[in-house]
Structure 1
Amino acid sequence: MSNLAEKTLKSEPIFSGRVISLQVDEVELPNGKTSTREIVKHPGAVAILPITDDNKIVMVEQYRKPMDRVLIEIPAGKLEKGEEPAHTAVRELEEETGYECESLEWLISFYTSPGFADEIVHVYIAKGLSKKKDAASLDEDEFVNVIEVTLEEALELVKEQKVYDAKTAYAIQYLQLQEALKK
């Protein structure tokens, strides 16, 4: 056990919702004193970087209530209980964009806000895209516009702050780095 670890003394559930739950933990610090930690529990998510055969990025334009604005993002979604991330990625790609893929490759996993949340996002690259004839439908409370952009257009969307979330910015920077390494 690390000399930096905090021992949980008590955990109090505060809220349990459809997407997240909130708890307040009382912890013993490495120096023996106590403190509280407010923790958001999340089942985890996937994000998909779909690349078309003509090298365009498939993205979704979606209203995000916490920011009270429309953002442009790579497709993403919450893990269902017991679901493997790769399965979630295929499902979310189909639901949000109507595309299926021939290949799906894991890129990276990262914690979104480890100071207060346990949410982990698994990022995949999807290639060999084709439109499904009987595409799955969006959740009943989900509305998106599907767009396809070049890497240069995606970088411009970042500058314009239309792309403003970490998973999408990471995916775009990953592609930018891959392009730079080819030169």
Structure 2
Amino acid sequence: MSKLEEKTLKSEEIFSGKIISLHLQEVELPNGKTSKREIIKHPGAVAILAVTPENKIIMVEQYRKAIERTIVEIPAGKLEKGEEPDACARRELEEETGYVCESLELLTSFFTSPGFADEIVHVYLAKGLTKKEDSAALDEDEFVNLEELTLEEALQYVKEQKIYDAKTIYAVQYLQLQEALKK
């Protein structure tokens, strides 16, 4: 056990929703005292950095109720029970954008807010994109506008806070770094 580790003494699920659950945990701190932790359990998600042969980044604009505004993001979605991340990435790419890809490369995985949630996001680079005529439909409660941005446009969107989430900023900065390494 790490000198910094907190030992769970008791855990109680106080909310179970469609996507998340909230647990109240009593923990023993490294100094022997106890404290409470509110932990959100999430099944995990994927995000897809999809770049067309014309070097356009496929993005979706959608309203996010939690922040009460519309933002532009790379396609993403939650893992279904038992679903592998790469299969989820292919499904979400097609559902949200109408594109399919020849291959996927895992770029990174990261915890979104480890102070209170266990959500992990797996970010993929999609290669060999093709637009399908009869793509899978969006979820019934999902409404998006498709955008295709150059790297310069995406960087401007970051400055303007049209792109305002960590996974998308990561993707834009990844492409910016790749461009810089080519020079």
TM-score (norm 1): 0.99
Q: Residue 20 of structure 1 aligns with which residue?
A: 20
TM-score (norm 2): 0.99
Distance between the aligned counterparts of 1:149 and 1:128, measured in 2? 17
Pair 1:147-2:147 in alignment: yes
- Partner AA of 2:179 in structure 1: E
Pair 1:107-2:107 in alignment: yes
Q: Residue 9 of structure 1 aligns with which residue?
A: 9
Q: Please list every run of at least 4 consecutive aligned residues from structure 1 whose deviation after the TM superposition is greater than 3 angstroms.
A: none
Unaligned runs of 5+ in 1: none
Q: Residue 157 of structure 1 aligns with which residue?
A: 157
Shift of residue 3, structure 1, vs aligned partner = 1.4
Farther off after superposition, 130-139 or 107-116? 130-139
Report how many residues are paired.
183
Q: Residue 60 of structure 1 aligns with which residue?
A: 60
Unaligned runs of 5+ in 2: none
Q: Residue 29 of structure 1 aligns with which residue?
A: 29
Alignment RMSD (CA, Å) = 0.6
Q: Residue 76 of structure 2 aligns with which residue?
A: 76
Q: Give the SS at the match of 2:37.
A: strand
- Partner AA of 2:108 in structure 1: I
Residue-by-residue CA offset, 1:42-97 (whole Å, 9 max, x unaligned) = 00000000010011100000000011110000000000011000000000000000
Q: Between the two proteins, what is the percent identity of the paired residues?
A: 77
Distance between the aligned counterparts of 1:162 and 1:133, measured in 2? 29
Q: Residue 179 of structure 1 aligns with which residue?
A: 179
Distance between the aligned counterparts of 2:77 and 2:23, measured in 1? 23
Distance between the aligned counterparts of 2:10 and 2:104, measured in 1? 41
